[in-house]
Amino acid sequence: MTSSTPEHQQQSASSSPPTPESGWGALFSKPHLSAVIIMASGVGLYAMNLYFTAALMPTVVAEIGGEQYYAWASTGYLITAVIATMFVSRMLTTQGAARAYVTAYLLFAAGTLISAASPTMELFVTGRAVQGFGAGLLTGLGYAVIRSVLPQALWTRGTGVVSAMFGVGTLVGPALGGVFAEVGAWRAAFGVLAALAVVLSLVTLRALPRQKPAKSPRSRVPIPSIIALALTSATLSLSSTLSTFWVPVMIGAGLLLLIVFLAVDARDANGVLPRLTYVRGNRVKWVYLTVAALCAGVMTENFIPLFGQQLANLSPLLAGLLGAVLSLGWVVAQLFSANATGKVARRLTRTGPVLLTLGLATYGALQATHASAFTVVLWVVMLLIAGIGIGLAFPHLSVAAMSSSDDETEGAKAAAAVSTTQLIAFTLTSAIAGNLLALGSASELAAARWLILGIAALTVIGIVTALLVTATPRKSSN
């Protein structure tokens, strides 16, 4: 047997109490520290840039125009990031970890500089697309190398640290972006980000081995699946720039293309998602859907700074800090949740999507024009609850995917697909967000409610799939 259910593997990997070999001290010990820093920094840079830019976007639009392409600034970034994850395995086998990371950092820096110099929103979005390709490589590499550079006893904590960097990045990103937006220096902000990427590329050369792997098997890039997924995202994004009449039509077309993507991918031996996803009886598909639901909730952070400025008259800095609240709950909860084992871990996995949905739905219902300070405080509380929900469930889902097969190659693919799933969810939710904003175009308040409550409806899916992930497996005769 080369595969097993993810929840069974997760339970066996985490049912025993932490030991010195599996604790936080071991993870940050000298043998593993350099690799952990590189993996965490790449994912952190990806996440920080996503929300860093969200805090800057109102300032960018005010200077160069192109408000109709507001959602495209994140959608273009996310589409190319998804495509980039398809090249992670090939780059690792042909270039090795160090060179793959350097390539990713330099692509990210190049795209950042293009955006920084953009006189129009069209060129800005182009730069974001180049950025996204580099960022997709970084986040894919972060998950793909965990299984090979860390012992199994450290997988939960390793994935906890790497995935927590999404939260750390979104804590730092909105606040830092808000500081630059406050003084109208968005171009300088992108210049600093590009410089950081170059510095990290130099650190990588010193921290990781430069030699290529001894064996370099090549796998075919799933072009048909990538095209179907890109068309899905593009269709959903395009509809947000059309009249309200076309929005439901284009959403329907986008959902149809999503079904086409899954059908094409299921038939491709080298598809976007690992073959285990389509194996009947293997619950890794529910793991990915739960991850996708959690990530859909995260995408509200792209718009929280905008709503804070429009509805509560917050300064760019305070609006950026408001956008970081969800991530604060995510990071803190995840670091505690990573210590959970057995039944407690399963309960946290089930509870997480419930708290996320509850927090977002209440936050959406509390939207109001000229919001008072008390209302803003309530927003903070609800966003914190939503973030805690993400942090409780995420590390256990990552390990469940990583442990979905006893086969080393299949397990690595399943682990890397967590990153792919995140980016797909980010991309599609970003595209859907543009449509939700269009549906609420009558007023700023209506736009906020449509977007937040619409995304909260998507996170309900995670409540159901989390139950399927953690259901007690049936007894088997073997």
Q: Is position 243 within any domain?
A: yes
- Tell me: the pLDDT tens digits for 362-385? 999 999 999 999 999 999 999 999
Range of 457's domain? 20-470
Q: Residues 414-421: what's their mean pLDDT?
A: 74
- Tell me: the pLDDT tens digits for 308-339? 999 999 987 788 788 788 888 888 888 788 77
Q: Which CATH number is 51's domain given?
A: 1.20.1250.20
Q: Is position 158 within any domain?
A: yes
Give yes or no for residue 50 having a pLDDT over 50: yes
Give yes or no for residue 205 having a pLDDT over 60: yes
pLDDT of residue 237: 67
- Tell me: the pLDDT tens digits for 276-300? 788 887 788 899 999 999 989 988 8
pLDDT of residue 6: 43
Paired strand residues for 3: 405
pLDDT of residue 230: 76
Q: Is position 476 within any domain?
A: no
Q: Residues 175-194: what's their mean pLDDT?
A: 85
pLDDT of residue 324: 80
Q: Is position 5 within any domain?
A: no
Q: Is position 61 within any domain?
A: yes
Q: Is position 414 within any domain?
A: yes
**Residue 1: band (very low, low, confident or very high) from pLDDT cuts 50, 70, 90:** very low
Give yes or no for residue 182 having a pLDDT over 70: yes
- Tell me: the pLDDT tens digits for 242-281? 666 676 777 788 788 888 988 988 888 777 777 778 888 7
- At 3, give phi and psi (nearest 5°): -140, 160
Of 15-29, 101-115, 158-172, give the lowest mean pLDDT range.
15-29
**Residue 359: band (very low, low, confident or very high) from pLDDT cuts 50, 70, 90:** very high
| Euclidean distance between CA atoms 402 and 408, whole angstroms | 10
Give yes or no for residue 10 having a pLDDT over 50: no
DSSP 188-240: HHHHHHHHHHHHHHHHHHHHS--PPPS--------HHHHHHHHHHHHHHHHHT
Q: Is position 27 within any domain?
A: yes
Q: How many domains does the chain have?
A: 1
Q: Is position 288 within any domain?
A: yes
Give percent of the chain above pLDDT 70: 82
Q: CB-based contacts of 19: which residues, under 8 Å, 6+ apart? A: 153
pLDDT of residue 407: 64
pLDDT of residue 213: 57
Global pTM reads 0.71
Q: Where is pLDDT greater, at 252 or 164? A: 252
Q: CB-based contacts of 192: which residues, under 8 Å, 6+ apart? A: none
Of 97-101, 144-148, 213-217, 442-446, give the lowest mean pLDDT range.
213-217
Helices 121-144 and 30-64, axial angle in degrees (round to 10): 170
Specify the DSSP class assigned to residue 472: P
Give yes or no for residue 473 having a pLDDT over 90: no
